[in-house]
Structure 1
Amino acid sequence: MKEKKPRLIPREQLRQFIKENNLTSVADIQNTLKDLFAETLQEMLEAEMDHHLGYEKHDVKNKETSNSRNGHSQKTVTSEFGDVEIGVPRDRQGEFEPAIVKKHQKKMPAIEDQIIALYAKGVSTRDIQDQLQQLYGIEVSPTLISNVTAKIMPLIKEWQNRPLQSVYAMVYLDAIHFKVKQDGAIVNKAAYMVVGIDLEGHKDVLGIWIGENESSKFWLLVLNELRNRGVQDILIISVDNLKGFSEAITACYPKTEIQKCIIHQIRNSVKYVSYKDLKKITAALKPIYTAASEKAALQELDQFEADWGGKYPLIIRSWRNNWDELATFFKYSPEIRKLIYTTNIIESYHRQLRKVTKGKAIFPTDEALLKMLYLATMDVLRKWTGRIQNWAQILLQLTVHFPDRVEIR
């Protein structure tokens, strides 16, 4: 049985408090608590000053004399209960540094935490205003919300530049697209994402970059930044079929094996297919990528060409041209195949981000987009606590495939 939490105020005192303050509504309670908060905070500040000056309870005369010299400075502090006016004790000798409310502090951190938490969930600025007004009776402006969320930019910069592991077993590269205001126009921007699995089997988001429409040139910049942050080697990279992707990867990590996403390849293939043939084509492609070996897969591709090559030659050409990087996964065990044959790991992460960003049709700036993606990513990372399933077996396989590049500690 759950232990009952003790009352902060005895029932009779609480009833007397309600009666004395004539509390008959939620608004009455909130206004009274606002005054009580201000008075309590004021008393704490006075007690802090008394402690600083070394007063005892009986030393009233000296206290009054010194306080008349030191005085107070008025300050407005934003709290859960609204803006409150307090008098901050001043020590004219300049030795007193308040610990409860700092000299230049204008807001109580709980409200800022509320704003950032709501922003991280994709709540719009207007809805944040409404929620704080309804819950606490606080009026906050869009500028205040922007200023509060802007405080996380140094955290983003630190996170984006943090050192990374020297070796990653698998890395997934993909971008999602958003509309952002720029120079008075609305343009499409790509958010470039990198997810890595280290040699301990843990997933991590290695970085987020905001750029123009997705291009291999920008991906080259991203890969170079990973190198500069300490990533010396990547065993396998899983990507979509963006033109120039392979060249960008090879330029930075020439020993890395590239696996093009099978699901993306199928999507590209059915672009050429009439609706009446769609189910037949997808069914005919399945034996290719589910084959037990590359040799068996090539036989299935030959059969597909015999059946459908005359009607859909572009499908055959696409599979043949990309075969070397589509077939990479065939050399590995089922556990590794499952991890690399698609970009599902990063696409699952993207789905979590879209849950947060779906309420934002247009972002006012690149910075606003980056702030929301970062905060949503922090929520995702809190859930990525365990290792990849069957990682011990996967790691043993990797030591066989890459004996000079993987060390078991």
Structure 2
Amino acid sequence: MEELDKRISEIVRSTVKEFMESLLKGEIQAFIEQNNRQRNGYYERDIGTRYGKIDDLRVPRDRDNEFQTALFDRYQRNVGIDGLVVSMYSKGISTRKMAEILEELFHNKYSKSTISRITDITVPEIQKWLTRPLEKRYIAIFMDAMFFSLRRDTVQKECVIFAMGIRESGNYEILGFYMNPVENHIAYRNVLMGLHERGVEEPLLFIADGLPGIEEEIKQLYPRADFQLWTVHASRNFESHVRVQERNDIDSGLKSVFLSRSREEALDQFNMLKDKWSLKYPKPVYNMEKNLSILLKYYEYPGSIRRSKHSTNLIERMNKEIRRRIKIIDSLPTEESAMKIIYLRVAEINERWSLRTLR
């Protein structure tokens, strides 16, 4: 046990060292750019952290020897900033606010540009994650878009499309996220092509909104895959076209349709809903009936995986968590800053989901 503890401590110290050296690289780069200086290699030093002493930490320097990291003073022996900057960024704290917090903590000014440069250490990691190989076969792939405010000269709403998969093992996984100024079938085509290029060959089912052209895009690349509409989105759309006082009654009827034990029972429940509401609300009833075969596609699959296929709970919770992070910042200054926040949150969620399987 003593040997195991020692080995774990070594691994943690190695990780902290790598992280601190990444922060130092971000700092020196910002310093060089802001002060028109030139780099002059590194020197090595030891420093204590809460995880133990780190040997041979590579600290960058400039030719005039003026660069001083805000992580620690020149002769300081211990430091406690491990993970602070990236952790704050992942929680949606703006670079301006982080600069204020770090100045308060360390009495040494971190500018907005320095914070931005430090968080740039995630950029190569994002690209590596977005292009990582995927499995050949997935039980289902969910696709959904979230909108946020982004500055491109002016501030406008733009979308990020998430793709979430269920592996054959039953584990959930966020496969990727894709930035696009608008949500249309071409944006989803790019998502599908990205998944295909990364190794996805045999998805059984795609779940997405009824955006014009999206089913055709799926069939073009995956002709054998089934397509299903989000049932929760269809229910909300139906309910948005009825009077407020009748929504609870209609919502109960829709749940009876989509939570039925069989397709036959679901059709019976829909016919009851239709008989009750078609005279009062003919258009939403007609639209749902027109799409009913695509909405009930999940009944062609085993009962053990039906609930996950018609429910949006997981992906909607994910959207809610990411939106909460972004909401703290009025509008994101660049697409890259949006990607950094989204990636850091997605990485956390994926780690949690790696332990979750179909029930």
Same fold flag (TM > 0.5): yes
Amino acid at match of 2:102: L
Q: Which residue among 286, 309, 315 is the counterpart of 1:317?
A: 286
Tell me, yes or no, if the aligned pair for 1:76 and 1:85 is still in contact at 8 Å: no
Q: Following superposition of structure 1 onto structure 2, how do residues 303-314 of structure 1 map, counting pairs within 5 Å?
A: 303-314=272-283
Tell me, yes or no, if the aligned pair for 1:79 and 1:110 is still in contact at 8 Å: no
Alignment partners' CA distance in 2, 1:138 and 1:125 = 15
1:235 deviates by 1.0
**Corresponding residue number in structure 1 for 2:4:** none
**Corresponding residue number in structure 1 for 2:71:** 80
1:147 deviates by 1.2
Tell me, yes or no, if the aligned pair for 2:257 and 2:266 is still in contact at 8 Å: yes
Equivalent pairs, count: 301
SS of the residue 1:243 aligns to: coil
Amino acid at match of 2:329: K
Alignment partners' CA distance in 2, 1:386 and 1:151 = 27
Tell me, yes or no, if the aligned pair for 1:79 and 1:111 is still in contact at 8 Å: no
The ranges of structure 1 where at least 4 consecutive aligned residues each deviate by more than 3 angstroms after the TM superposition are: 41-45, 72-75, 108-113
Q: Which residue among 190, 194, 205 is the counterpart of 1:221?
A: 190
Q: Following superposition of structure 1 onto structure 2, how do residues 64-143 of structure 1 map, counting pairs within 5 Å?
A: 74-82=65-73, 84=74, 113-143=83-113
**Corresponding residue number in structure 1 for 2:207:** 238
* Residue 199 in structure 1 maps to residue 168 in structure 2: yes
Structure 2 unaligned segments of length 5 or more: list them. 1-42, 48-62
SS of the residue 1:356 aligns to: helix
Query: RMSD of the TM alignment (CA)?
Result: 2.6
Taking structure 1 as the reference length, what is the TM-score of the superposition? 0.68
**Corresponding residue number in structure 2 for 1:156:** 126
Alignment partners' CA distance in 2, 1:75 and 1:117 = 28
SS of the residue 1:347 aligns to: helix
Alignment partners' CA distance in 1, 2:346 and 2:357 = 19
Identity %: 26
1:85 deviates by 8.6
Amino acid at match of 1:125: T
1:283 deviates by 2.6
* Residue 147 in structure 1 maps to residue 117 in structure 2: yes
> Structure 1's 120 and 43: CA in aligned 2 closer, same or farther, altered over 3 A?
closer
Q: Which residue among 158, 161, 170 is the counterpart of 2:140?
A: 170
Structure 1 unaligned segments of length 5 or more: list them. 1-40, 46-71, 87-107, 391-409
1:253 deviates by 1.1
* Residue 356 in structure 1 maps to residue 313 in structure 2: no
Q: Which residue among 161, 177, 181 is the counterpart of 2:151?
A: 181
Q: Which residue among 240, 260, 272 is the counterpart of 2:229?
A: 260
Q: Point out the structure with max Rg over C-alpha.
A: 1
Alignment partners' CA distance in 1, 2:273 and 2:93 = 49
SS of the residue 2:67 aligns to: strand
